[in-house]
């Protein structure tokens, strides 16, 4: 299932709201990491009902992996 430009933009916007996913000094809290992934999935569900936690995880999502390199 391909990601539309709108969905990618929203994913990036939500991702940027969670520095624990990309900020080195925040990166080590597994509780914050898990909460951020859950928040991303929850925010995307209305647009992509099939979204999974794997798609919200920057280590497993190619779109987020590319964004992460920009930070």
| Whole-number pLDDT of residue 34 | 85
Task: Kindly give the parts of the chain with pLDDT less than 70.
Answer: 1, 26-27, 54-71
| Whole-number pLDDT of residue 49 | 80
Expressed in angstroms, the distance from the first to the final Cα of the chain is: 26
The Cα–Cα gap between 32 and 64 comes to 17
The Cα–Cα gap between 48 and 68 comes to 22
> How many C-beta neighbours within 10 Å does residue 42 have?
12
| Whole-number pLDDT of residue 58 | 61
pTM equals 0.67
| Whole-number pLDDT of residue 25 | 76
| Whole-number pLDDT of residue 19 | 87
């Amino acid at each position: 299932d391909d990601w539309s430009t709108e969905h990618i933009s929203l994913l990036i916007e939500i991702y940027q709201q969670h520095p624990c996913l990309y900020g080195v000094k925040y990166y080590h809290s597994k509780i914050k990491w898990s909460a951020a992934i859950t928040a991303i999935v929850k925010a995307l569900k209305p647009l992509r009902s099939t979204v999974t936690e794997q798609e919200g995880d920057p280590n497993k999502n190619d779109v987020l992996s590319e964004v992460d390199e920009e930070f």
